[in-house]
Structure 1
Amino acid sequence: MKPHFLPLLFMAAAALQSCGNGNAASGIPEQTSIPVRLMPLTSSASAASIPVSGTFTTDDEVLLSFKTGGIIQRIAVKEGDAIRRGQTVAMLNPVEIDAQVQQARLAFEKATRDHQRAQNLYNDSVATLEQLQNAATAMEMARQQLNTAQFNRNHSVITAPRNGFVLRKLAEEGQLVQPGTPVLQTNGAASGNWLLRAAVSNKAWAAIKANDKASVEIESVPGKTFSGTVARRSEGVDPASGAFRIDIRITGEKPANIAFGMFGKAVVQTSGNAAPAGWAIPYDALLDGDGSSGYVFVTNNGKTAHKVKVTVAGMEKDHVLISQGLENAGQLIIAGSAYLRDSSRIHIIQ
């Protein structure tokens, strides 16, 4: 009977060997757990106080210039002068532009006479309808040229667009300037429309929303705090500073001793309900990053790892800001992620 049992023994041995190497392709036995390190996840959605600093400005700064080119005859203001709406602040030498206006006026008067003469000849059946229409067209073209010359003449004088102050004087009397060359920079600071313009980090920008309350301190008014609100926040990074920008408008009592470019500080009170949930995680925990998305491993029971997709909101110096994907996660795996797959067994190390 031995010959009958030998094939059965070989088949059983092959079956046992096959079962023992079920996970050989993966290189990790089924019962092996991966050592990992964990980090508790804490959302940043709660309200917070964010300190910021910046300089004061207004949202109505304007560079004043002439419509036409020429030689500056007079600049009637100096830097720091208060100005009122409609006040003449600079003018060009009017000789050239006045001559252009006079030429356009004479051309219009001649075209008007030619049109009247053509009208009389047409009434006497001497001139044709085409000749009369051509004379009417020439008269209208001369009228528009006169309007253009008069418009340029009016804009060879700069008047203040609103009440405010002269911030900078960018040209001098006797200087030849081209059309559109800035001559003066002004703002409407006389109306008290002050803004504290501050640069903030990615994380602070994500937490701060429009209309968030702020308390503002000004160096020229020591010991006093002014109320303000976030008027706006930039939707892109300032290429000069590499940071985001927010504007805080002073509300309530207006400060008296304040000037353009003066340094100020503020504390913004963010509203937790308005701010989106967010998490700051180490760079090493983010896998397969692609633009604004990536993957991380998390665990809820400390025994099994799960791979979840997350949305990247920004990056700071030493961590990544996540805006979505970790709502239902208990702990984040920050070490050992490279050896994990979804549903891998893990054990925690300190």
Structure 2
Amino acid sequence: MKKIKYTGLLLCIPFIYACKPHPVTVSNKGGADTIAVQVRPLKQQANNATIAVSGQFTTDDEVMLSFKTGGIISNLNVKEGDAVKKGQLLATLNPTEINAQVQQANLATEKAQRDYERAQNLYKDSVATLEQLQNSKTNLQQAQQQLKAAAFNRQYSEIRAPKDGYILHKLANVGQQVTAGSAVLQANGAEAGKWMLRVGISDREWATMQLKDPAIIQTTAMPGQLLQGVVSRKSEGVDAETGTFSADITITGKKPQAIAAGMFGKATIIPSRSSNAGNTTWQIPYDALLDGDGNSGYVFVTDDNKTAHKVKVTVAGIEKNTVTVSSGLADAKALIISGSAYLTDNSVITVKSPQTASK
């Protein structure tokens, strides 16, 4: 009984294999097989199509303010959103420790000064040697430099506004102990700094836009109003947090009063590249790209629907189902989008319709 079952299973294998899809090949008169493929006409896309982006407003002079020394915060004289003037006192540390250090340095300087004067008198009386006089002078100079360092640290145990602007964020509170260099306040020079919209862009958009490309900016804070701007910066690497590139669009002209740091905005960038053959791209299906390596790969094209040619292309960007090609397809008429895996350079092909392929 088992032999009969196994024999029936073996007899079914050829039928199962015959039902599997295989590339359609037709033998031609020369003996070579003709491979059935599908093609798509190649259409160039001009790179100067507008680019829609969004992001947040900021300035080019945002700064984190901190103390030169560590200690306990005794005063914070501002709140988030406060306008400040250049030189205004914003925060101070408890001065007990730093004042003690300055006093110690001052006492050491006074002692070194007395020792040096005594060594001078003894040297004049031939009691002290020249070496002793020189050593006392060196001790005095060291003490004077330590006093300068202590006075400098005391000066920067308080935070003053570097320029006219606004307090964006308060990062510490009164009574909190902070280390040297820890950010306490974030401020900007809202009146002097250049306002910009910082936006995220895809790799394709990054490749298309250039510095100084014009842009039109909008924000819901000013409905119906348009701001003019230019692309002032393109990042040279991907942001680790967002996974995208970034760009800055600087507002040209005076900053509108309705804009604040962190506010959301949209922009339309108008790429300045002309639509000539050297500055065009092609959108091709992802499956048509073969042997992709970095920014290059290979595709099969045909000019006469009879012969396939393998050409190298430059990849400008990859999205979910498509690939943007920036060069390599200028002289091709049609792209082979199905059957490429069975082709070699100069393979003989026959073009099948999509209806035929679906059967």
Shift of 1:270: 0.8
Question: Distance between the aligned counterparts of 2:182 and 2:131, measured in 1?
Answer: 45
CA deviation after TM superposition for structure 1 residue 83, in Å: 0.8
CA contact (8 A) 1:48 1:272 kept: no
* SS in structure 1 at match of 2:210: coil
| C-alpha RMSD over aligned residues | 1.9
TM-score where L is the length of structure 1: 0.88
Question: Structure 1 194/306 Cα, relative in aligned 2: closer, same or farther at 3 Å?
Answer: same
1:305 has 2:303 as partner? no
**Unmatched tracts of structure 1, length 5 or more:** 1-26
Q: Percent of aligned pairs with the same residue?
A: 57
Q: Deviations over 1:71-91 (max 9, x none)?
A: 111111111000111111111
Alignment-derived partner of residue 48 in structure 1: 49
| Cross-structure match for 1:61 | 62
Q: 1:257 maps to what in 2?
A: 258
Cα distance in 2 for partners of 1:89, 1:68 equals 16
Partners of 1:122 and 1:42 lie apart in 2 by 95
Contact 2:60–2:193 (CA<8 Å) still a contact in 1? no
Q: Is the 8 A contact 1:192 1:254 kept in 2?
A: no
Structure 2 residue aligned with 1:14: none
Preserved CA contact (<8 Å) 1:211 1:229: yes
Contact 1:304 1:344 in 2 (8 A): yes
Secondary structure of 1:281's aligned partner? strand
Counterpart of 1:179?
A: 180
Does residue 1:135 correspond to 2:136, yes or no? Answer: yes
Tell me, yes or no, if structure 1 residue 316 matches structure 2 residue 319.
yes
**Distance (Å, rounded) in 1 between the aligned partners of 2:89 and 2:219:** 33
Query: Equivalent residue of 1:278, what SS?
Result: strand
What residue identity is the alignment partner of 1:110?
A: K
TM superposition score normalised by structure 2: 0.85
State which drifts further: 325-334 or 271-280.
Answer: 271-280
1:199 and 2:200 aligned: yes
- Identify the residue that residue 118 of structure 2 maps to in structure 1: 117
Q: Given residue 164 of structure 1, which amino acid in structure 2 is its aligned partner?
A: G
Larger mean Cα displacement after TM superposition, 302-311 or 266-275: 266-275
Does the CA-based 8 Å contact 2:316-2:325 persist in structure 1?
A: yes
Do residues 286 (structure 1) and 285 (structure 2) align? no
Letter in 1 for 2:227: F
- Displacement of 1:146: 0.7
Structure 2 Cα separation of the partners of residues 192 and 148 of structure 1: 32
Instruction: Tell which deviates more after alignment, 301-310 or 35-44.
Output: 35-44
Q: CA deviation at 1:111?
A: 0.9
Change in CA separation of 1:300 and 1:100 when aligned onto 2, cut-off 3 Å:
same
Q: What whole-Å deviation, never above 9, does each CA across 1:147-174 have from its counterpart, x for those lacking one? A: 1101100000101111110011111112
| Aligned-partner Cα distance in 1 for 2:124–2:329 | 89
Q: Is the 8 A contact 1:48 1:271 kept in 2?
A: no
Once the 2 structures are TM-superposed, how far is the Cα of residue 50 of structure 1 from its aligned partner? 1.1
* Matched-pair contact (CA < 8 Å) for 1:226–1:253: no
Displacement after TM superposition at 1:117 (Å)? 1.7
Cα deviation code 1:252-298 (max 9, x no counterpart): 24311111111111111112239943322212111112222221111
Which residue number corresponds to residue 267 of structure 2?
266
Instruction: Kindly provide the CA deviation profile for residues 48-85 of structure 1, in whole angstroms up to 9, marking residues without a partner as x.
Output: 11111111111211111111111111111111000111
- Which secondary structure state, in structure 1, belongs to the residue aligned with residue 211 of structure 2? coil
Give the aligned length. Answer: 324
Q: In the alignment, which residue of structure 2 is the partner of 1:105?
A: 106
* Counterpart for residue 22 of structure 2: none
Look up the equivalent residue of 1:258 and give its one-letter code: I
Deviating more after overlay: 37-46 vs 89-98? 37-46
Residue 211 of structure 1 is matched in structure 2 by: 212
User: What is the rounded CA distance, in whole Å, between the counterparts of 1:347 and 1:55 in structure 2?
Assistant: 53
Q: Which range moves more in the overlay, 323-332 or 167-176?
A: 323-332
Distance in 1 between residues matched to 2:104 and 2:306, nearest whole Å: 93
Contact 2:76 2:173 in 1 (8 A): yes
1:208 Cα offset (Å) = 1.2
**Deviation of 1:322 (Å):** 2.2
- Partner-residue secondary structure (3-state), 2:287: helix
Q: Deviations over 1:187-246 (max 9, x none)?
A: 122336211111112211211111111111111111111111111111111111111111
What's 1:329 paired with? 332
C-alpha distance in structure 1 between counterparts of 2:179 and 2:71, whole Å: 7
Letter in 2 for 1:38: V
